[in-house]
Chain A
Amino acid sequence: MSDSALDQARKRTGTMTGAEAIIRSLEAEDVTICWGIPGGAILPLYDAFMRCDHTIQHVLVRHEQGAGHMAQGYARATGKVGVCIATSGPGATNLVTPIADAFLDSTPLVAITGQVPTHLIGTDAFQEADITGIVMPIVKHSFLVQRVEDIPRAIHEAFHIASTGRPGPVLVDVPKDLQQAEFDFAYPDTIELPGYSPEFPDVPASIAAAATLIAQSKRPVIYVGGGVINAEASEDLIIFAETLQAPVTTTLLAKGAFPDSHPLSVQMPGMHGSKYANWAIHRSDLLITIGARFDDRVTGKLDAFAPGAKIIHFDIDPAEISKNRRADVTLLGDLKHTLPALREAVAETRNAERIANQRDWLTDVQDWRKENPFRYMKGEKLKPQYIVEQFDRALRGKDAIWVTGVGQHQMWAAQFLSIDGPRRWLTSGGLGTMGFGVPAAIGAQQGCPDAYVVNFDGDGCFQMTSQELATAICYDVPVIHAVMNNGWLGMVRQWQELFHDERFSETNLFGTIPDFVKLAEAYGCLGLRAETEAEVDAVIEQAIAERRPTVIDFRIDHDEKVYPMVPAGAASHEMIDQVWDNDWVEEGV
C-alpha cells in the first residue's frame, strides 16, 4: 500500500461492525494478503472481506495448518507480519502447530480466530475451544476480545508485539457477536502496553568489555543465529566479520544470514553441521554469539561445548542470556546498533600481533574446511545430495528461495545448498515441523512472486500437507516441490539403523504409495519423475522452464544417510562419519 493510502487507512473513522473493523485494522497495518478458511464463528469477518471489496487478498487454503505455515513462509521471505485466519474450535486448534513453529523460530505471525458468541463462552458450545488457553505457552501474547470497541486496539497491539523485539506469534480471538456488533471505529495511534518494552539503549555499556575480550582472543569464532535475519543485520554482520577476520558459523535458521560462499564462512554447526564448524567451535577461545540460543542440536552435550571459550552474547531477548550457556559479556539490543558499535570499538584495538595470531587460526580452520568438505558417495542409486547440487547449479544467479520439510532431505539441503542472502532459506528448525515445506513455500512465493521457489521435501513430510497443492493451483503459485522419495521416514530410519540395531519399527512408507506424479496431475500440477542421475537435469530444467505448480518424484537411495553426525548426547566435535568403509568416530582436533 502506498504511504498516503496507508495514512488514510489509519485515519479512517465511522460506524461499522466489528468484522469490518478487523479488515480496516488490517489495512491500517499494511496487510495485503492473508490465509485462512471460513467457518461458523468467523463468518461475519468473511462477509466483511466481500463487502470491503477484497482490499486484502484472502487465500483459501485446504487445512488451517496450511494457512499458518503459508503466513509463516510469507513472513520469513518478506520480513513482514504473516496473517492467518480460522474459525473457532477445530479451525483454531488446527493453527496450533504453525503457532508453535512460529514461536520457536521467532516468526512474526498474527492469527485471528473466531470464537463462539460471548454468552456461550464456557458452555462447551458447538465448536468452542479455549484457544487462548490452549496456545498460552506457545504465543508471545494473545487477546480474547471482550468488547467490540477493543478490536482495533487488539489488532494494533498484536502487530506491534508480533513484529518488535524478538518476533513471535500473537493470537486474537474474536467472539462472533462482537464481529456483528456496531461501533464507532477509530484506529489507535498509541500503544498501551506498560509491561512491554522491547527497546534497549543503542550502545550498551558492555561494548568495551566485549572489545577487550576480542582483543585478547587468539581463536575467535562468530556463531550466528536466526536473530541476524530478523534484525535485517546481514550487511552489518559481514562488515563485522571482515573486520575481525574470524570464521563465521551459521545455524540452520541463520543459513543465508552470512554468505555460504564467503571465505570466512564455515557453514552450519551442530548435529549435522560441518566438521570444520564444530571443530572450530571446540577449539575456540571466544565464541561471539549473535542472535543464537545454544540450542541442543547445535551444542550437543552442553558441558563439552566450546569448553575453552569465553562467550559474548548479542541478543534482543534477555531471557536467552545465560539460559543454556553462561555469557561472559552481554550485548542486549538491536543488532543494527550493537554490531556496528562493537565493530568500531574493535577496529580501535587492532594491532599487528593480534592480526598475525588470528591469521594462523584462520588458516587452520580453512585447512580443515578444505580437507573435510561435505561429501557423499556416488552409487548405482540416485543420491539426494546430487539433486540438491544440480538444483543449486540450475538456479545459480537467479533469485531463488529454498524451503524444506524436516528430516534427512532438510539436512542434505542445508549441507549442499550455497545460499548467499537472508530470507532465501526457510525451514522449520526449533519445532521441527514435518509438513512445513509445501505451505511455507506457497506463502513465500506469494510474497515474492518473481523468485524461483523450490521446496525440498521428503515423501513423509510432503504427505502431511500435500492437499495444499490445490491452493497452489487455484492461485497459480508456481512452486517446485522436489520430493526426495526414499519410501521411508528417513531420519527416523537412520536413527533406527544406527542406534536401535536396525529395527525399522513403523518407518516404511512404501515409496510408490501414492504415485506422486499421478497425485500432482490429479491436482492439475505438473508431475515429473527421475530415478537416475541421468534424468535429474532434464526434470529440473523442465520444472524451471514451465513455471507452474510442479511436483518432482525423485526416487532416491533409501539407504543414504546424513553425515557427518553428532550422536545425541555426544560432544559436538565427536562426529560420526561414513568414511568410507565402516562408521567411525572422529577423534576431533
Chain B
Amino acid sequence: MATPGHHTLSVLVENRPGVLSRVCGLFSRRGFNIESLAVGPTERTDRSVITIRVDCTRHSVEQVVKQLDKLIDVIDVLEVEPDSAIERELLLIKVRADAEHRLEIMRMAEVFNARVVDAGATTLLLECVEHPDRLAALEELLSPYEIVEAVRTGRVAMTRASIANEAARPKLNILG
C-alpha cells in the first residue's frame, strides 16, 4: 500500500475557464508531482479530458481521485489500467544528423514508426506517435547522435474497444 507507483488518471471535465488550474492546483496542494499532463476536447465540445500521470502510493491516488471528484467542474475520474487501455503520446525530436549518419537515423526512425517531418542542413526533425515507453526507447537510441531538442505532448489514454459490456467510462469505485 505504501509503495509508490505510476498511475494514469483520465479526468472528464466541463470545458470552462479555470478548470485546468483547479485540477492542477489540487495536485500541488496535496504534494503530488504531475509527471505528464495532456488536455484536449472530447467528442462533445463542452467537455474536455485531462489525462494526468502521477507517481504516488495507492492510498494517495485514492485520496486524489476523491478530491478531484469533489471539484464541481469534474464530471468523473477514471484510473486507466495499462492492461485494459491504449496509451499514446506524441514526440517531436530534433537530432543532429550529418551526411554520414543521416540514413542510419532514418532507418532507425522507421523501426519506431517515426516520420521525418522536416530536415535541415545538419539536423532532422522526427515525429512519433507511440506508447510512451516506446518513445523513451527511441530517444535513448537517438541520444548518441546528439538530441538538439525534444518535446512530448503528455500521454492520452482510452479504454480498449475490445473490452465488451462496459460503459465508455466505467465508474470508479472511489470507496475502495
Contacts and interface: CB of A to CB of B under 8 A. Distances in A.
A291 B76 CA distance: 25
A323 B72 contact: no
A318 B174 contact: yes
Contact of B17 (A136, A146, A318): A146
Nearest to A136: B25
A351 B62 CA distance: 39
Interface stretch (B32-40, B63-71, B84-92): B63-71
A580 interface: no
A317 B70 contact: yes
A318 B71 CA distance: 12
Nearest to A195: B75
Interface in B7-50: 13-14, 17-18, 21-22, 25-26, 29
B67 A195 contact: no
A199 B1 CA distance: 30
Interface in A124-178: 132-133, 136-137, 140-142, 144, 146, 161
Contacts of A14: none
A71 to B, nearest CB: 21
A195 B21 contact: no
B136 to A, nearest CB: 34
Given A318-B175, A321-B175, A196 B66 contact: no
Contact of A195 (B29, B72, B175, B176): B72
Contact of A193 (B13, B59, B67, B72): B72
A196 B75 CA distance: 7
A83 B4 CA distance: 43
Given A194-B14, A322-B62, A140 B21 contact: no
B128 interface: no
Contacts of B66: 318-319, 321
A203 B124 CA distance: 64
Contacts of B70: 317-319
Which of A132, A195, A196, A332 has the most chain B CB within a 10 Å cutoff?
A195
B72 A144 contact: no
A330 interface: yes
Interface residues of B, number: 25
B73 interface: yes
Chain A interface size, under 10 / 10 to 19 / 20 to 34 / 35 or more:
20 to 34
A318 B69 contact: yes
A330 B176 CA distance: 10
Interface string A194-230: 1110000000000000000000000000000000000
Nearest to B12: A195
A16 to B, nearest CB: 25
Contacts of B73: 195
B71 A195 contact: yes
A185 B21 CA distance: 31
Which of B17, B22, B72 has the most chain A CB within a 10 Å cutoff?
B72
B56 interface: no
A255 to B, nearest CB: 27
Contact of B72 (A141, A321, A330, A332): A141
B74 to A, nearest CB: 5
Contact of A140 (B72, B74, B75): B72
A463 B25 CA distance: 34
A112 to B, nearest CB: 18
A137 B14 contact: no
Given A136-B25, A318-B174, A322-B62, A196 B18 contact: no
9 contacts: A136-B22, A140-B72, A142-B18, A161-B72, A195-B13, A321-B66, A322-B62, A330-B175, A332-B175
Interface of B: 13-14, 17-18, 21-22, 25-26, 29, 59, 62-63, 66-67, 69-76, 174-176
Given A318-B66, A322-B59, A322-B176, 19 more contacts: A136-B18, A136-B21, A136-B25, A137-B25, A140-B72, A141-B71, A141-B72, A144-B18, A194-B14, A195-B73, A195-B75, A318-B69, A318-B70, A318-B174, A319-B66, A319-B69, A321-B66, A321-B175, A322-B62
Across the A-B interface, give the 8 residue pairs with the lowest CB-CB distance, nearest first. A319-B66, A141-B72, A195-B75, A196-B72, A195-B74, A137-B29, A136-B25, A194-B75
